[in-house]
Structure 1
Amino acid sequence: MTEKHLAYCWIARGERVLFLRRAAGVFRAGQWELPGGTAEPGEPFQTTAVREAAEETGLRVRVTGELGRAEWPDIAGRDLRIHAVVYAAEETGPADVVLNPAEHDDFAWLTRAQALELPLPDHFREVLDR
């Protein structure tokens, strides 16, 4: 079985956390998620989280801790096991969010309660429920 490793950032401003909406035409279109993505071969997961946050949002962050891990079988039925880790991250300087339109079409700074009202993949709901 093949494995895929994902790493995400929990970027907070006060009580609100940054969520991104998947763009039309991409996998999980219309669903909301934390900034993050797939680890490159041999790439440390914390590095993945920081790199993906910059690519998807334009924000520069540093990892401050681990919030949770999850794993699940591929939802498309492929012989693939997904492993994900969510890191707490803080911005290293003031910046505006600039989305990569090939991946996301909207963003919002949300409280936990607000985020739970959105269409979210289960692994993000698990982090929010902690």
Structure 2
Amino acid sequence: MTEIAQKHLAYCWIARGDRVLFLRRAPGVFLAGRWELPGGTAEPGEAFEATAIREAVEETGLRVRVTGELARDSWPDVAGRAMEVHAFVYTVEEDGAGDVVLNPEEHDDFAWLAPQEAGRLDMAEHFRRLL
């Protein structure tokens, strides 16, 4: 029997008023052109809340703190690998309202959108379920 690997992702729901920050994946990266929340893969032994904070800084330059858990979801790997993916979405507050500074190796655009606007974007199904 094949053992299924586990991958854990953590994302941030960064809101300014009724708008939420979405990032577009850069050309040449996995799922290029699709929109997502700031976040990424937990490192071994890293708390998921810490992953969300670290990824927000790396991907947006924004400093945030976790205020709660908004959602969690699981799905089989979209690339067909023997892997189960588990994602956690955290509500966060910014430590000051800074400018978004993208990491161009990961993302090429960002937008502050109301959830209903974001629903029209090309995004992975797990983000669509969240909206």
Return the TM-score normalized by structure 1. 0.97
In structure 1, the partner of 2:52 is: 49
Please, which of 117, 120, 125 is the counterpart of residue 117 of structure 1?
120
Partner of 1:9, secondary structure, is strand
Return the TM-score normalized by structure 2. 0.96
**What is the CA deviation profile of residues 85-127 of structure 1, one whole-angstrom value per residue up to 9, with x for unaligned ones?**
0000110112100000000000000001110000011111111
Query: Which portions of structure 1, spanning 4 or more consecutive aligned residues, are displaced by more than 3 angstroms?
Result: none
Gap runs ≥5 in structure 1? none
Percent identity (aligned) = 70
In structure 1, the partner of 2:10 is: 7
Please, which of 98, 105, 111 is the counterpart of residue 95 of structure 1?
98
Partners of 2:110 and 2:66 in 1: how far apart?
Answer: 21
For 1:88, give the aligned amino acid: T
Partner of 2:92, secondary structure, is strand
- What is the aligned-residue RMSD (CA, Å)? 0.5
**What is the CA deviation profile of residues 8-38 of structure 1, one whole-angstrom value per residue up to 9, with x for unaligned ones?**
0000000000000000000000000000000
Partners of 2:15 and 2:100 in 1: how far apart?
Answer: 13
1:72 aligns with 2:75: yes
